[in-house]
Amino acid sequence: MKEKVVLAYSGGLDTTALIPWLKENFDYEVICCCVNCGQGNELDGLEERAKLSGASKLYIEDIVDEFSEEFIMPCVAAGAVYEHKYLLGTSMARPAIARKLVEIARKENASAICHGATGKGNDQIRFELGIKALAPDIRIIAPWRMTDVWKMKSRQDEIDYCAAHGINLPFDASHSYSRDRNLWHISHEGLELEDPSQAPNYDDMLVLSVTPQKAPDQETEITMTFEGGVPKTLNGKAMKVSEIITELNAIGGANGIGIVDIVENRVVGMKSRGVYETPGGTILMEAHEQLEELILDRETLEMKKKLGSQFAQIVYEGKWYTPLREAIEAFVWSTQKYVTGEVKLKLYKGNIIKAGTTSPYSLYNESLASFTTGDLYDHHDADGFITLFGLPLKVRAMKMAEVNKK
């Protein structure tokens, strides 16, 4: 009986060419696994294509809800943003996909898992760290790093390889952006983006959004409610997290929200430029942050921002299945106990504008914040506070004056 390999299958040219390649070079029985994280119509026609290419079986696993609740929401609650801009769309999805690949490999008694990530990117790290953490006994095959066996260097090479194996597929060698899509975002790399001096060709690129210039010249108002840091309703309608993100993607995309052009530092050491469309995620994270402004005390909020940045780094580097990620997430959820309330926003040509936030747990006290004198605050108390708070500065200044006299 042949050994089995589970192939992380997207249906694109790379992973399609991998099916005959795995059979030819390793004599494996190839079982394809496509993990649906919200790719939309990218899943159309996959079963026929996989079988045509020589796979013995195709699993299409829908994990949209668990992706939303178990991977996206911890990052939203943490306020996790990598290098101030990237909302971790691909980074969050890879450990979710790795978990499902391991599950299918166990079910099929497969001895190996194969992925089509390149040797220059972050995804190879994210996939493999996830697999190693969950199934250290399973072999990992990364063809793009196996240059002694994987001889293909271009799309045309892969097309020719498939044709030589009797696989005629609807792909051509014309260049296009390298994209990754899921419920949370879509990323774009390649073409003019490889030159940082060039502006993105947004007219040819954007999938979920329009540019702010092309957005309607009128505001769109939305209202969201949260309970314990988790969104519960959008515009008065109760929905699952995945449904809220889907609806926010449509609303935000139409208003030019969440388009980011970034040069980021990859884990492998190089800089990479990409454009990310995250319309719904940008709105959701902004709404969550505005609610936290009312509810969290200063020191908790300050610590949460520090740990949120570290959480983003951990997720970006593929270290989801680590004790540190679990520990930080436990802290984050402990801060969300009272993050409950309503957030109103106005969307206008790429901008998210506050329109009012309320919470039964708000620490904002109008009497304290007002310029008029309230019962809870005596202006004279500031004298002693400033004296003590500024004492180190005064002592140092006195010492420096004494030293300079000598």
Q: What is the helix (H) or strand (E) element at residue 352, kind and residue range? A: strand 351-358
Q: What is the DSSP letter of 184?
A: S
Choice among 56, 111, 178, 272 that is catalytic:
178
What pairs with residue 59 in β-bridges? 33
Choice among 14, 49, 187, 209 that is catalytic:
14
Tokens coding 199 = 């502006």
44 in catalytic set: no
Question: Rounded distance, CA 328 to CA 331, Å?
Answer: 5
Choice among 123, 181, 187, 325 that is catalytic:
123
Q: Is 1 helix (H, G, I), strand (E, B) or coil?
A: coil
123 in catalytic set: yes
14 in catalytic set: yes
Choice among 53, 91, 94, 209 that is catalytic:
94
Q: Is 227 helix (H, G, I), strand (E, B) or coil?
A: strand
Question: Rounded distance, CA 338 to CA 363, Å?
Answer: 11
Question: Rounded distance, CA 102 to CA 96, Å?
Answer: 10
Contacts made by residues 45-54, CB under 8 angstroms, sequence distance 24+: 45/11, 46/9, 46/11, 49/11, 49/16, 49/169, 50/9, 50/11, 50/16, 50/19, 52/167, 52/169, 53/16, 53/19, 53/20, 53/162, 53/167, 53/169, 54/19, 54/20, 54/23, 54/30, 54/165, 54/167
Q: Which residues are catalytic?
A: 14, 94, 123, 178
